[in-house]
Chains A and B, each alone.
Chain A
Amino acid sequence: MILFILCFILFMVGLYGVMTRKNLIKIIIGVAVMEYSVNLFFILVGYVDGATVPILTKGFEKGPFVDPLPQAMILTAIVIGLATTALLLSIAIRLYRKYGTFDIRKINSLKG
């Protein structure tokens, strides 16, 4: 149970980073931290104490396996996270070219 709570705290750390930081790159890092905490949560959900990898090999045909479905889901989520992070970084680079700064307080051509 303590692991789940730690996982949730990590999520909150990421959310805190997104909300309070003023630097574009640090905001992106905050989003990434949130993503890792969710990935960790999924792996914990599928974890079975003392079980082996769910692959049929000689000597391991039976016996407790960890749940493979969360791992498959997390692989997909990682790919999605990769795409999001790459897009965020490329937008941040473009913004840096337009404004010459990563400071979000100075990037304010939109209002209302």
Chain B
Amino acid sequence: MNSLIPLFIVVPLGSAFIMAILGRFIKDFGKYLINLGLLFLVGLTVKLILNSQETLIYKVGGFANAGDIPIAIYMVVDGFTKILLLIISVVGFLVALYSISYTKQYTAERKFYILYSLMLAGMYGVVVSGDIFNIYVFLEIASIASYALVAFGIQKQQLEASFKYQILGGVASMLILMGIGFIYWSTGTLNLADIATQLTADTIIMKFIAVLMIVGFGLKAAIFPFHAWLPDAHSSAPSPISAMLSGVLIKAIGIYVIFRIFFNMFALSYEISMVITVLGTLSMIIGGLLAIGQWDMKRLLAYSSISQMGYVFLGVGIGMLVLAQKGNPAVAAFSILGGLFHLLNHAMFKGLLFLGAGAVEYRTETRDMKQLGGLSEVMPVTAGTSMAASLAISGIPPFNGFFSKLIIIIAAVQAGYVTLALLAVVVSIITIGYFMKMQKYTFFNNDGSFWKNKKIKEVPFTMAFAMILMAALCLGMSLLAIPTIRDIVLTPAVDALMETVQYSKTVIGI
């Protein structure tokens, strides 16, 4: 099992450069290669999840530890990593399937798939790496590929959004790199597990590192005061890429690293947990309020991403607070479970919503909701799947979003943060509001005769098929709330975070 871990990086990276060479001679080579590769990786992820519960470790280069000091570059796959692997593989595969028809409008299709594979390789690298500098390197691979993909349409808006994204992303990278420098200075190691054993003193330098890391990765994850780039970048990118950016990228390179660092590397502290919870609450509220006034469909979805990421931060942050105050571990575990469940769900329904917005834009060539309306008559599949995703994100019972929001709210009440629970309920109502607005102005509101006259049809088969699969997953993932199924996927992830600095014992055995 262990020797399969590097495949997560080798497959997308290798296919990127194979399609750079062969794609020039064989038409449509890249799109089928990346689909096959991702199908294989979906299988591999499912196999990893079902087969083993313990932490898998792989040492690149095969160097043994010198005494207590780990020398090799570690790749670590534990429960929390597996969730992210699942998100990247499944959403990545469905988006690649959707792109088969969607990218026919671009002249440089081959380059789209090369950049897409590189972005996937970067994200896989971030989540499997157990070494903070490697996390930085893979994060930059994913970021640079996404900068280029945002500007892929080379229109005015795309270029401007990409420039803004790159400047803020560049500042974030420099802050992260500086934080890594301070970590290396004070501990003399780069391995996450080894750092955890060295970083015990609660000194001023530790606080400075924590601030650098929160600002740096917060910029990458677009939580509240650092969210300025997200609505521009996510709404200007080609729609499959918007789905990847909103559904996967901000989670893999932002949220994953924040949780990994502050649970498993730093010792839990009350201040940091408070900062994470407060930032989460603020981005939940402000993202929701800003989303109401939007008339651009993808911009509304982008603001909604900020708001939903706030839920994830809220759930996990409450868990951190309870743990840091030595409260009841069961409540903390339940709260973290809610946060991670929402992370998983958000990838599905936000991906689906962006794909739906892309389908609308693909046929009507506009995403201004004032000009749309009545599309449910001419595009039933898009309308139906988009409706399912809207219901899921607003938290209507049979769908997955309901269960994760419910768990977060119950956990907040159990932990004694009734105000936060109330705020979560209020924002949930706001969410229903703006998604009803989006549904009404896009798919209903008139009889659709305007579009019928313009001969607007349903989208091509692969796009529709990918959207239907995603809608089915939105419904099916509510099964994860059932305890027996939850124990396979979600509980190992919660355990991986709950073991806090015991992580280093599991990984390097000290």
Contacts and interface: CB of A to CB of B under 8 A. Distances in A.
Interface of A: 11, 14-15, 18, 24, 27, 31, 34-35, 38, 41-42, 45, 69-70, 73, 76-77, 80, 83-84, 87-88, 91-92, 94-95, 98-99, 107-110, 112
A35 B133 CA distance: 16
A87 B181 contact: no
Interface in B141-176: 144, 147-148, 151, 154-157, 159-164, 166-167, 170-171, 173-174
Contacts of B154: 94
B181 A45 contact: yes
B167 A112 contact: no
Contact of A11 (B144, B159, B174, B184): B174
Contact of A38 (B161, B162, B177): B177
B163 A95 contact: yes
A29 to B, nearest CB: 12
Given A15-B171, A45-B185, A87 B231 contact: no
A11 B148 CA distance: 26
Contacts of A84: 140, 144, 147, 166, 170, 173
Interface in B172-203: 173-174, 177-178, 180-181, 184-185, 190
A38 B174 contact: yes
Nearest to A19: B171
Contacts of B144: 80, 83-84, 87
B173 to A, nearest CB: 8
A87 B174 contact: no
Query: Mostly helix, strand, loop or mixed at chain A's interface?
Result: helix
Given A18-B167, A110-B236, A112-B231, A42 B156 contact: no
Contacts of B140: 80, 83-84
| A-B complex: 6 closest residue pairs judged by Cβ atoms | A80-B140, A34-B174, A31-B170, A45-B185, A109-B156, A38-B177
A80 B151 CA distance: 19
Given A15-B171, A73-B133, A76-B137, A95 B185 contact: no
Contact of A41 (B161, B167, B173, B181): B181
B304 to A, nearest CB: 14
A41 B208 CA distance: 15
B306 to A, nearest CB: 13
Contact of A107 (B151, B160, B174, B185): B160
A70 B180 CA distance: 10
Given A18-B171, A109-B157, A70 B184 contact: yes
B152 to A, nearest CB: 12
